[in-house]
Structure 1
Amino acid sequence: MWKVSEFGDLVGVSASTLRRWEQEGKLIPERTLGKQRVYNETHLAAARSLKTGKYPHKVLIYCRVSSNNQKDDLQSQVKAMEQFCLAQGVSVTETIQEIGGGLNFKRPKFLQVIKWAIQGEVNLLYVAHKDRLCRFGFELVEQLVQWGGGSIIVANAETLSPPEELTQDLLSIIHCFSSRLYGLRKYKAKVKKIVDGVDPCSDSRYT
C-alpha cells in the first residue's frame, strides 16, 4: 500500500493529478479506517497506463516446475493459482505452464512473458511464489514488468529468514550444477579416450 504522496512519486505524477483521476472515475483509491487514500499494486498498473496512454490487457498466471517428474505438482499449482484468481474476482486471459530450472533465464515461455511485459502488454502477472518465476533476480524482472505498466502479484508472499533464504539459494545452485555434471557422465568414456589419444569413433590410435 502507498499513500498519495508516495504513490505519486512512484508513478511520476502529482497529487493533484491523482485527485483528478479519482474525480473522473479513472483511478479510485482504497480508503483506510481513518479515511486516508491508499493505493495498491493494481492501482500501480492502472496509473502507469493512464500516464502513458497504453493499456496493458494481458492478465497472466505463470506456473513452473523444475522437471518432468513434477508434472502432477505443476497441475496442482495451476489449479491453486486459478482458484486464487477466481477468489480475487480476476479474469485471467492466459495460464502459462513451463518445465525448467529457476536458474535458467532462457526458458521460452518465461522469455515470452518478459517480451510481452517490455512491449507493455502485461497488466497483471500472477505467480505462486517468487521462485516460480525465477530463483534469482526477481526484483529485476518485477521492475521490467512495472516499466511496461504491469504488476506482479505473488500469491504466497511469505518471506524466509536470511539464513533460510541463503540455504534455499545454495541448494538450488548445488542442484543445478549436480544435474549438469550428471548429464556429462555419458561423455566420460569418450573424453577419457580422447585424453588417452584414442579416436572415440573408431577406437583406433591417432597417427
Structure 2
Amino acid sequence: MKAKEVLELLQISRPTLTKYVKEGIIKVHVLPNGRYDYDKESVYQLFNKGVERKTYIYARVSTPKQKADLENQIQMLKQFCFANGYSVSKVFSDIASGISFEKRKDFFRMLDDVLAGKVERVVISYKDRLSRVGFELFHHLFKKYHCEIVVMSEVGSEKLDSEEIFEEIISLLHCYSMKMYSKRKGEKIKQILSEGELPS
C-alpha cells in the first residue's frame, strides 16, 4: 500500500505512520527506488483493532419472477447463520444476472464494506449466487481483506433440517426406482421362461 492510502484509511498523520513503522506495528517492504510499500495485512490488523467485524448475508436470483425464491433463500441463510452462531449484521440481495454486475447495487454496497475491512464473513447459499464466473477471484480478494466467504451448500457438517430431509427423499426415491427396476426385470424373466423362449 502507498503511504497516502494508509494515512487516509487510518486517519493518522505522517509522523504517527513513521512511528508505527519504527515500532514494528506496521510492516514495510523497501522498493528498489527506496520508497516504502506498506504491508496491507498489518495495516488492516491495526485498522480493525477494537472494531467488531460483521457477518453479512448475500442472496441473489436472476429474474423478478423468482422473488419468492429470493425470500426463501434469505430465510434459509438466516437459519444457517443462527445454527452456526453467526450474528447477522446486514442482508444484501439483488435481482440480477450472475454473469453481469451491471444491476447488482447491493453487491457493490457489500463489496465496499469488505474492502473497508468491516466484514468478517459473507454467507451465501451457493457459489453462483455471488458470481457465476470468477468466484475464485472474489475468494482471493475477500481473503486479502480478512473476509471469509461461507458457502452454505459446502458446509457438510452443518446442514439444515430441510437439506437433510431433501437428501433423505432423494435416497428413498433412488431405492424405490431400483426396486421397481428389479421387479420389472424379474417379471420379464418369468414371462420369457413361461413362453419357453430363452435369449440366444
Q: TM-score, normalised by structure 2?
A: 0.52
8 Å contact kept, 1:49–1:149 = no
Compared CA separation, residues 58 and 51, structure 1 to 2 (3 A): closer
Corresponding residue for 2:61? 65
1:114-129 → structure 2 map (5 Å cutoff)? 114-129=111-126
SS at match of 1:53: helix
8 Å contact kept, 1:117–1:144 = no
Compared CA separation, residues 51 and 122, structure 1 to 2 (3 A): closer
Corresponding residue for 2:169? none
1:52 aligns with 2:48: no
SS at match of 2:88: coil
AA in 2 matched with 1:97: S
Compared CA separation, residues 49 and 95, structure 1 to 2 (3 A): farther
CA distance in 2, matches of 1:51, 1:64: 29
8 Å contact kept, 2:93–2:107 = no
Q: Which has the larger radius of gyration?
A: 2
1:137 aligns with 2:134: yes
CA distance in 1, matches of 2:88, 2:97: 25
1:101-112 → structure 2 map (5 Å cutoff)? 101-106=97-102, 107-112=104-109
Gaps of 5+ in 1: 1-47, 159-207
- C-alpha displacement of 1:49: 8.0
CA distance in 1, matches of 2:149, 2:81: 13
- C-alpha displacement of 1:54: 3.0
8 Å contact kept, 1:61–1:125 = yes
Compared CA separation, residues 104 and 52, structure 1 to 2 (3 A): same
> Any runs of at least 4 consecutive aligned residues in structure 1 with deviations exceeding 3 A, and if so which?
48-51
8 Å contact kept, 2:44–2:117 = no
Compared CA separation, residues 143 and 83, structure 1 to 2 (3 A): same
8 Å contact kept, 2:44–2:145 = no
CA distance in 2, matches of 1:149, 1:49: 11
1:88-103 → structure 2 map (5 Å cutoff)? 88-103=84-99
